[in-house]
Structure 1
Amino acid sequence: MTEFRFPRRLRLLTGRDFQFVFDDAQLKVPDQPLLILARPNNLGQPRLGFVISKKNVRQAVKRNRVRRIIRESFRLNQHSLPSVDIIILARKGIGEMENEAIHKLMKKSWSRLKNKSKKLKQT
């Protein structure tokens, strides 16, 4: 049976983990309300980290809601994602989006990330 948990091993936790992706983000999935940066890892599983600044999403309640929705989307799609370290950078406007709109955005973004990952492996 497939496990759909979100344990610590699936998270980017340290500054070194984040710097690893920022130094050489080989996969970029831009969209109006967010940007996904990713870099292949050798762990055999994807890992997720967030950068949601107070400048872009003012209220903590909204930042946490966006984080929860994206984390849930990641949790449900983790088995179909490639083995990469992923950073989600929130941009202005994502805090005002409805929950369903964020879910649709993430579904589309995960699909684009998978396609770009396949192209990267072929080269």
Structure 2
Amino acid sequence: MKLLNSFQFKNVFRKPFYRVEISKITVFSCLNFLIVPRLGISIARKQIKLSHERIRIKRLVRETFRMSQHKLVKMDFVVVVKKEVMFLKNDLLNKILRNLWYRHYQ
């Protein structure tokens, strides 16, 4: 349920079907012809320098995706974050991510 190679990421970035941004978190989505939604996470080291912060954000993104994947449209999703996200608490970040996934429900 992950986007694994650069071709899959480029496919989503090249022709996104839908783009949603809330609080410096952007979700690009592209239709796939599979039976499950897939997730890719793009956090640039240039944006968030501390590795433990990148890992924390990735963990929260994966967890919120896992909790809502059964309701999501069958698409490829790529989550891109900016440096301001690093300063958000886990509760607020969790709420923002759930709101982003809610916009992609069937």
AA aligned to 1:45 is V
Residue matched to 2:41: 50
Corresponding position of 1:102: 93
TM-score (ref. length: structure 1): 0.82
Residue segments in structure 2 that go unaligned for 5+ positions in a row: none
4+ aligned runs moved over 4 Å, structure 1: none
SS in 1 for 2:103: helix
2:16 maps to 25
Aligned to 2:60: 69
Please tell me whether Structure 1 or Structure 2 has the larger radius of gyration of its CA atoms. Answer: 1
- CA deviations 1:30-49 (Å, max 9, x no partner) are 12221000001000111000
Residues 1:80 and 2:71 aligned together: yes
Structure 1 unpaired stretches of 5+: 1-9, 119-123
RMSD of equivalent CA atoms: 1.0
**Cα shift at 1:113:** 2.5
Whichever residue aligns with residue 94 of structure 2, its letter is H
How many equivalent pairs are there?
106
